[in-house]
Amino acid sequence: MSVPQSYDVSLLDEERYRLLVDAITDYAIYMLDIDGRVASWNPGAQRFKGYEAWEILGEHFSRFYTTEERLARAPETALRLAATEGRFESEGWRIRKDGTRFWAHAVIDPIWGRAGELLGFAKVTRDLTERKAAEADLRRSEQQFQLLVQGVTDYALYMLDPDGYVSSWNVGAQRIKGYDASEIVGRHFSQFYTPEDRERGEPGRSLETARREGRFEREGLRQRKDGSRFWAHVIIDAIHGENGELLGFAKITRDITEKVETQQALAKAREELFQSQKMEAIGQLTGGIAHDFNNLLMAILGSLEILRKRLPADPTLTSLLDNAIQGAERGAALTQRMLAFSRRQELNIQAIDVPGLVKGMLDFVQPTLGATTHLENRLPDRMERIVSDPVQLETALLNLVVNARDAMANGGTITIGAEEYVADERSEKLKPGPYVRLSVADTGEGMDEETLAQATTPFFTTKGVGKGTGLGLSMVQGLTEQSGGKLEIESRKGKGTTVSLYLPAADESDCPQSSETSMPTPAAEAPKRNFTILAVDDDALVLMNTALMLEDLGHTVIESYSGADALKELKSGAHRIDLVITDHSMPRMTGSELATKIQEEWPDLPVVLATGYAELPVGGDNRLPRLPKPFSQNQLQDIINAVLNGAP
């Protein structure tokens, strides 16, 4: 309420004025004389201040002020300023009759007579305690909110104006983004995006979405002050005023790099587990096929060998027989690759001098490559020896060189290199320790990502029909992993291919002699007499072929189709058995189980284990002399000589 600065009270209808003033209870309206003493008192003043009219009339208005303000002469200053400037307005604490305080808004206007003399003052006071408390609560809430925002360090919390410029910045934003508030406030938030996202207009689209839908949420790469990138989860909320106008945006960013990397590692582990399970299943299937195929080849090669000995010397027939034998031998080589892939081939583990092995094979490799293909040797003269099977490793390298040659239709360069490598805890698929990285690189057409992903899958090949089995790289991978290393392929379309074999460096403890007996050393002397041999195999073709070869060597053969039949024959005592040759993979009783029972009852009777698996499955007795299928008649004679003459 405002009271005119200058008027003549005598001109007012005194009664109507008094009724008006007395009706007002939300404002304290009262008069002061020129000295500041209370001259009138309305009900509003009585309600605010707590004084009855008879208690306060004639008293100085300074009693409404706090002690501090009275000492500072604030009442006198208020009257002086009202008189000299025509009005005084202020807010401050005032005192009620009971001594309590309230926050007041006060206006003091001077009252002038017709002659311009000062008659007194009109004073209007309003109680703003509730508003003051609300403002204090609001300030306290804002301060708490600021403390909360600034106390959050795991999230970047900041404000953007309607155009996307940063207007506030918390400690979390500084930690995650790398900018101090002084460096970033006033700059556009698009600088947190990668250059690729800025070119695609991602910052603008995110603000537009938040403006249109009220909220924007997404995960993506963002960029720190130092240029490094991190995965971020971003939320942008539009902030509107009371009238619906856009005031700006609240932006929350969280660094989720660790979470994304964990998810990616989990997905990769799942994929590797699936791939491992798939390869294990294929390996078991392949190993089983190779075992059965070896039995078939056993019958074919054995029969062909006996047939060659019994046919007349007819060149036309001999050439056909040689072709058949050669085809069967190629089939045997294929089974070895299948066994290598399934990691069931026998390894003759030795310490290998890599430069020596490679140089030894270069002389006969170069002529097979053609005039347009150049072979380079980039091996040091001396380096750490490695642990593997030298024959299998040489075969693997030859396979890689041939693959490299076939990948360069118009010729090029094949480079064989080696370097020492130390694996640590972060190295994939390798135990920590020293290794040698043996590589074969070509300048050929290379592989795209899809082809590269399938390169070591069994039977996958990019060569034409009849030009590849698809087992070459699988065999190499099987060899490296069985040797304790890993295979790595790097390739880009049009940029060539590099295949690397990481093989463990040799140590005396890493190079034991194979505990499995494979091809026995021929005995120094042939046996003095023929023997009675018990041949055991559940495959009738293989058993017939084995018996045929043994009889051709002059031995007496007793045939059994199972372990139980063999034990029955031995217990019958119908023949004096000198040697038992048994297959391993037989139903109900394996060859190893049969050998155990024989050793329990006839400890002096030697047993030879013949198997299509070069490495015995679980449960096999690796101490037994071994005859790998398919075997020739000479190999059969050699192991008989070795076992019955007491050779190791």
User: What does the pLDDT look like over 331-383, one tens digit per residue?
Assistant: 666 666 555 555 455 566 788 888 888 877 776 676 667 778 888 888 887 88
Is residue 622 very low, low, confident or very high in pLDDT (cuts 50, 70, 90)?
Answer: low
pLDDT for 131 beyond 90: no
pLDDT for 84 beyond 80: yes
pLDDT score at 530: 84
Residue 361: closest CA among 330, 390, 321, 320: 390
pLDDT score at 534: 92
pLDDT score at 420: 87
pLDDT score at 409: 77
Could you tell me which residues come within 8 angstroms of residue 4 by beta carbon, excluding any fewer than 6 positions away?
Answer: 109
pLDDT for 6 beyond 60: no
Q: What percent of the chain has pLDDT over 90?
A: 15
pLDDT score at 12: 44
* Average pLDDT for 88-98: 91
- Listed range (281-295, 314-328, 462-476) with the worst mean pLDDT: 462-476
Q: Which residues pair with 551 in a beta bridge?
A: none
pLDDT score at 134: 74
Domain 152-255 CATH class label = alpha beta
SS3 content of the chain, % helix, strand, coil (to 5): 45, 25, 35
pLDDT for 7 beyond 70: no
> Quick one: tokens of 6?
């200058």
pLDDT for 465 beyond 50: no
Q: Is 617 left (phi over 0), alpha (psi -120 to 50) or beta?
A: beta
pLDDT for 473 beyond 80: no
Residue 88: closest CA among 79, 97, 96: 79
Q: What are the angstrom distances between the C-alpha of 328 and each of 305, 325, 365, 630?
A: 11, 5, 25, 10
Separation CA 402–CA 386 (nearest Å): 23
Vertex 473, ends 398 and 283: CA angle to 5°? 130
Please, what's the b/e burial string for 50-68 (b: 16 or more CB within 10 A of its CB; e: otherwise)? Answer: ebeeeebeeebbbebbeee
Start-end of CATH 3.30.450.20 domains in the chain: 9-129, 152-255
Centroid of chain to Cα 190? 29
pLDDT score at 77: 93
* Residue-averaged pLDDT of the chain: 79
pLDDT score at 110: 93
Is residue 647 very low, low, confident or very high in pLDDT (cuts 50, 70, 90)?
Answer: very low
Is residue 519 very low, low, confident or very high in pLDDT (cuts 50, 70, 90)?
Answer: very low
pLDDT score at 517: 35
Is residue 420 within 8 A of residue 383, CB to CB? The reply is yes
pLDDT for 455 beyond 70: no
* Average pLDDT for 109-114: 90
Start-end of CATH 3.30.565.10 domains in the chain: 350-510
> Quick one: tokens of 103?
């926050």
CATH code: domain 350-510 is 3.30.565.10
pLDDT for 21 beyond 80: no
pLDDT for 66 beyond 80: yes
Is residue 75 within 8 A of residue 62, CB to CB? The reply is yes
Separation CA 349–CA 479 (nearest Å): 11
- Listed range (18-27, 88-97, 505-514) with the worst mean pLDDT: 505-514
Centroid of chain to Cα 182? 37
pTM of the model: 0.39
| Amino acid (1-letter code) at residue 499 | V
pLDDT score at 163: 92
* Average pLDDT for 112-130: 88
Higher pLDDT, 187 or 300: 187
Is residue 95 very low, low, confident or very high in pLDDT (cuts 50, 70, 90)?
Answer: very high
Separation CA 464–CA 461 (nearest Å): 8
Separation CA 49–CA 125 (nearest Å): 10
Separation CA 546–CA 543 (nearest Å): 5
* Average pLDDT for 538-554: 85
Separation CA 394–CA 382 (nearest Å): 18
DSSP run (H or E) holding 540:
helix 540-552
pLDDT score at 170: 82
Is residue 65 very low, low, confident or very high in pLDDT (cuts 50, 70, 90)?
Answer: very high
pLDDT for 564 beyond 60: yes
Q: Are strands 118-127 and 101-112 parallel, antiparallel or unpaired?
A: antiparallel
pLDDT for 553 beyond 50: yes
pLDDT score at 71: 93
pLDDT score at 287: 58
Q: What are the angstrom distances between the C-alpha of 201 and each of 17, 197, 204, 205?
A: 70, 6, 6, 6
Could you tell me which residues come within 8 angstroms of residue 253 by beta carbon, excluding any fewer than 6 positions away?
Answer: 155, 156, 173, 176, 177, 192, 222, 232, 233, 234, 235
| Amino acid (1-letter code) at residue 485 | G
Separation CA 404–CA 185 (nearest Å): 59
User: What does the pLDDT look like over 295-323, one tens digit per residue?
Assistant: 677 777 777 777 777 777 777 777 777 77
Residues present in the chain in total: 648
Q: Which CATH number fits domain 9-129: 3.20.20.70, 3.40.605.10, 3.30.450.20, 2.70.98.40?
A: 3.30.450.20
> Quick one: tokens of 570?
């031995």
pLDDT for 636 beyond 50: yes
pLDDT for 438 beyond 80: yes
pLDDT score at 242: 83
Higher pLDDT, 525 or 157: 157
The arrangement of secondary structure in 273-327+517-648, i.e. its CATH architecture, is 3-Layer(aba) Sandwich (3.40)
Q: Which residues pair with 65 in a beta bridge?
A: 94
Is residue 516 very low, low, confident or very high in pLDDT (cuts 50, 70, 90)?
Answer: very low
pLDDT for 444 beyond 80: yes
pLDDT score at 524: 39
